[in-house]
Amino acid sequence: MTPELLSSQLSLIAPEMILSLGAMALLMLGVFVKEDLAGRLIEWLSLAVILLAGIATLVLTGEGGTAFNGAFVLGPLSIFAKVAVLAAAGITLLLAGPYLHKEGLMKPEYPILALLAVTGMMIMISANDLITMYMGVELQSLALYVLAAFNRDSLRASEAGLKYFVLGALSSGLLLYGASLVYGFAGATGFTEIAIAASGETNIGLTVGLVFVISGLAFKISAAPFHMWTPDVYEGAPTPVTAFFATAPKMAAVVLLARVLTEPFAAMHDQWVDVVWIISVLSMGVGAFGALTQQNIKRLMAYSSIGNMGYALIAIAAASETGLWALLVFMTLYMLGVIGAFGVILSMRTREGMVEQIEDLAGLAQRNPGLGWTMTALMFSIGGLPFLVGFFGKFFLLYVAVDSGLIYLSVLAVLFSVVSAAYYLRVVKVMWFDNSDVEFVSAPASVFWVTRVAGLATVVALLPLGWLLHRALTVGLPA
């Protein structure tokens, strides 16, 4: 390998190298810094590492390309998704700081585990080989298992971590078994070689292997019927961890699933589209009806996540370049709303501690109008009510579905969206029309600004969204 080729390949993985080397350096730093200073210092240094990785993604990777004999690929889709993942990880880490310090949970390991998880997500997004894909998934998952149980003194957190680990191990087994079947019948692990094998005569072995791969990845995005871990883990994990789970890992796993289905298995669209169709409908149904009876705001957000992953699968089922743009737009706007919503949840602190019940939001709009208006805008945006940005995310998905002939799926999506609006409106109703004597203490400055900016963005982000829609409809996006 010539020095020029090596340099070009290393530039493509520069963000991952920055994250992994930064995590290792911060791990060593944590050993030598006093414990009372280590948490805060490593938190801010971790944010600096994420920022540096984001700059490297935009600057050093250029127009993309492939590295390591095609095992790693980078293009417009990958760059967009990586920047979104890094932004979500950085903001959720910023939100986590005040909460963890208040609860005495800010240890050096927390931001380091977050960096390692993000490294796995970045590898997942650029995976162009089954082995690379599995390495990225496992690197992300192992860090997330520990984060779920990070509050070792909490029985709920320990239960959440154990449940996530056991079910995560099952999903990893399904994914690995499916990858093994694909390798056995395709004779290769690279996506390009698999695409050649899949373009021939129908191979039942490849089809079965693909079903197992879809099942393993559906668990990672908490799509039904592989969603059983989501409500309990969201409720039991520390709230900042839940905010992290609901944003960056979802984007990485959805993009990976889209790339697996639309690149190596594009020729088998007729075999996998029905599977994705069913998972999409089940997810939207479980998310819509499951959230109606929830009393805990974090469990409600869990079912909201399940439902929204069903909407995201619509774009994947379309299997088109416009569908990829629709997926990116929808997931970006969804993460924006979820980050703001969890900022509000983290602001729900009384003098006795955190509150998580929906009824505890009663009278919030009267006591804190700014927070009330922000949560209202965020709930309406996540629910897809006109004319906030979340509405345009779902509208774009429906456009892609109709354009691809998925009429029945579009109709079901609209019906489930109407049902899901009920529980978003319920939260708004509790805030504005119910009375309560609970008094919330002032939120830290970082939580205050992130929450307000996210709420404002649901209204004012229409201009850049319009540009994205125009580009998607006129130019398209190569993977």
Q: Which of 117, 21, 123, 121 has its CA nearest to residue 72?
A: 123
Q: Which helix (H) or strand (E) holds 353?
A: strand 353-354
User: Which pLDDT score, from 0 to 100, does residue 6 have?
Assistant: 64
User: Which pLDDT score, from 0 to 100, does residue 446 have?
Assistant: 53
Cα(306)–Cα(246) distance, rounded to whole angstroms? 10
User: Which pLDDT score, from 0 to 100, does residue 143 have?
Assistant: 92
What is the CA 213 to chain-centroid distance, rounded?
19
Question: Using N-to-C axis directions, what is the helix angle for 204-220 and 130-148, rounded to 10°?
Answer: 30
> Which own/partner pairs from 192-195 qualify as long-range (CB within 8 Å, at least 24 positions apart)?
192/70, 192/128, 192/264, 194/130, 194/264, 194/265, 195/263, 195/264, 195/265, 195/266, 195/267
Whether residue 387 has a cis bond before it, omega within 30° of 0: yes
Counting Cβ atoms within 10 Å, is residue 101 exposed (0-12), middle (13-18) or buried (19+)?
middle
Residue with tokens 């205050």: 448
Beta bridge partner(s), residue 354: 349
Domain segments of the chain as ranges: 3-474
Q: Is the dihedral angle over the CA atoms 406, 407, 412, 417 positive or is it negative?
A: positive
Q: Which of 342, 320, 349 has its CA nearest to residue 450?
A: 342
User: Which pLDDT score, from 0 to 100, does residue 254 have?
Assistant: 94
- Burial string for 351-376 (b: 16+ CB within 10 Å, else e) reads eeebbbebebbbbbbeebeebbbbbb
pLDDT in tens, 228-283: 888 889 888 888 888 899 999 999 999 999 999 988 998 888 888 889 999 999 99
User: Which pLDDT score, from 0 to 100, does residue 121 have?
Assistant: 94
Q: State which residues of the chain have pLDDT below 50.
A: 462-463, 467, 470, 473, 475-479
User: Which pLDDT score, from 0 to 100, does residue 249 have?
Assistant: 92
- Burial string for 303-323 (b: 16+ CB within 10 Å, else e) reads bbbbbbbbbbbbbbbbbbbbb
* Cβ neighbours of residue 320 closer than 8 Å, sequence gap 6 or more: 400, 403, 404
User: Which pLDDT score, from 0 to 100, does residue 62 have?
Assistant: 66
Contact in structure between 331 and 308 (CB atoms under 8 Å): no
How wide is the angle at C-alpha 329 spanned by C-alphas 458 and 262, nearest 5°? Answer: 160
Cα(51)–Cα(69) distance, rounded to whole angstroms? 29
pTM to 2 decimal places: 0.89
pLDDT in tens, 62-77: 666 788 888 888 888 8
Cα(212)–Cα(214) distance, rounded to whole angstroms? 5
Q: What is the CA radius of gyration of the chain?
A: 21
Q: Is the dihedral angle over the CA atoms 306, 466, 454, 51 positive or is it negative?
A: positive
Q: Is the dihedral angle over the CA atoms 323, 325, 328, 331 positive or is it negative?
A: negative
Q: Which of 391, 390, 393, 401 has its CA nearest to residue 320?
A: 401
Question: Using N-to-C axis directions, what is the helix angle for 204-220 and 155-186, rounded to 10°?
Answer: 160
Contact in structure between 238 and 105 (CB atoms under 8 Å): yes
